Structure 1
C-alpha cells in the first residue's frame, strides 16, 4: 500500500474530469521525480489560482480583475450583441476566431437532457443580464442574443430550452448555422468553421 500522502494525492487527482485511479497514480509519481523548484512553482501557481482568480460579475468568465473581465469592461465591444455559451472554453474558441465582438454569458453545462438537468440552468440570471445589464456594471443595450452551443444532443436541447425561456423578451434570438458538423463541439472547432457558423447564423 502506498504511503498516506501519496494515497491522498491519488484521491485528489482522481476527482479531475476524465482521470481514473491509474492516471492519477502516474501524476503523483511524475511529481515525485521532479525537482523541488518545479514543485514550489506548482504550489505557488495553485495558491495564486485560489487567491487571485475570480469570476466576472457579468459573464462569469475567469479574471484577475476585481469586478468585470477584460472583455466586459472593454468599451469598444459591440454592446448590442450577447452570445450565450456553455463553458469558458467555448468562449475562448470564439474569441480566438475573431468573428464575434459582442459580450458573452456562460450559462453552464448539462450532463444529460433530462428535465432535472435543464432546471439547473439559472434562467433568471440570463434574463437579468439581457434586461438589466447595468445592474452588473455593463452599459449595454442588447438587440440580439446568439445561442452558441455544441452541435450535440445536449447542446441542441439546451438551445431549445433557453430559447423558450427568453423568447418573450424584445430581442432577436439567433443560432449558429450548420457550419459545425453534427456532434461537433465549439471548443474543438477550427477558426474557419466558427466564422462560417457565426456569419451564417439565423
Structure 2
C-alpha cells in the first residue's frame, strides 16, 4: 500500500471509532446499553437487571455544514414491553445534540413523541444509493446516516446530495432539525438550521 491509501484507511478507522463513541455517549444519556434493534437489558450500578426494553429501530444522522458547525439528530422507537412490574409503553424519542472532539455529548434536547407520531425519515423509501451526487464536492453539507433495524445495520455517507430523491430526504432532515433546534434553544444548534 502507498502512503495515501494508509492515510485513507486510518481516517476511516478514526471515523468509525468516533461514531462508536458518539453512540456510546448517547446510550449513556438515554440509560440504555445499545442503539441496536432488539431486546435490551437495563442494568443498575450493581449490574442487576432492572428492566428490559425492545428497540424496534433507530436512526442517527450527523449533519456537518462547512463554516457553520455540526450536530446529530436521532430517532429511537421502543416497542411496548413488560418486565416484572414495569410496563414500558410503545414510544418514539427524537433528539438533537452536539458533541465535543472526544465524542462526549455537550448539549442535548430530547422529545417524547405521541404513539401516533409518523417518523417521516423512517417512512422515506426513495433512497438512490448510486445517484446521490455525481458532481465534485468540496464544501457544503455532509451527512453520516446510520440505521439500525431488525437484522440490519446501514451506514451511508453523503456529501452535498443533489438528486431529487436525496433532496427530498434532506428536506425532511432539515424540517426535523429546524423543529428540534428551535425547541432546544441551544444557540450552537440553532445556527446550523438558521
Do both share a fold (TM > 0.5)? no
Query: Higher helix proportion, which one?
Result: 1
TM-score using structure 2 length: 0.27
TM-score using structure 1 length: 0.26
Larger radius of gyration: 1
